[in-house]
Amino acid sequence: MRNLNTRKLLIFLLLTLGSFYSFSQNNVQSKNTSNIYERLNARYEKYLGQKFPDFSIDTYDSNLFSNKKFEGKIVYINFWNKHCSPCVAEMNGLNQMYLKLIQRPDFLFVSFSTDPDSVIQKSVIKYDIKFKVYRLSNELFSRLNFNNGIPTSIILDKNGIIKFFRCGGPGDKKQATEHVMTEIYPKIIELLEKKDNSSKSK
């Protein structure tokens, strides 16, 4: 009986230590992730307050699209390619955000890719992309993206000034969705509400 009780006690202690180790590892991983984002945020702060570059492109359906469409709107811009795993991981979250904001006349969702039009159309079907994707040349893509990697998210105020700039993201779909809905979406809402309050005070 004593041996049985001793064995149970050892098992209990091992399980307790295992749970504590797992909890500690998760905390370390969470802190490391937070530190990475803090360093990235500091790196991209230099773009805040800058005017987004002018551009004009011919779309695949023979229409003209330029930054003149941005005037008076809060604009979210996403840069991505199909070979970028974190880009693809974001799609579910971006779809959710787009559907929440699509009815707002003072908001514009813009997505840019260097993939050929045929590849973009296949990606739209494969990932059930709800928003329109515009193809850019490599040169223009880099210029508008300030020569950064992908995925990149940029938010502009109604005057075309950069208020949010993030590059990179998690490759896990669940984490990427959470990133979009907790980091990007609230910033858009903040700017939209600021715009609404400004209009009411006039």
Structure letter (DSSP) for residue 62: S
Per-residue confidence in pLDDT tens, the chain, 202 aa: 545 555 655 555 455 444 444 444 444 444 455 555 566 567 788 999 999 999 999 987 768 999 999 999 999 999 999 999 999 999 999 999 999 999 999 999 999 999 999 999 999 999 999 999 999 999 999 999 999 999 999 999 999 999 999 999 999 999 999 999 999 999 999 999 985 555 544 4
Structure letter (DSSP) for residue 184: I
Distances 167 to 22, 83, 145 between C-alpha atoms, Å: 30, 16, 9
* Paired tokens of 98: 């787009």
The domains located in the chain, with CATH, are 48-201 (3.40.30.10)
The pTM for the full model equals 0.78
* Paired tokens of 122: 């296949």
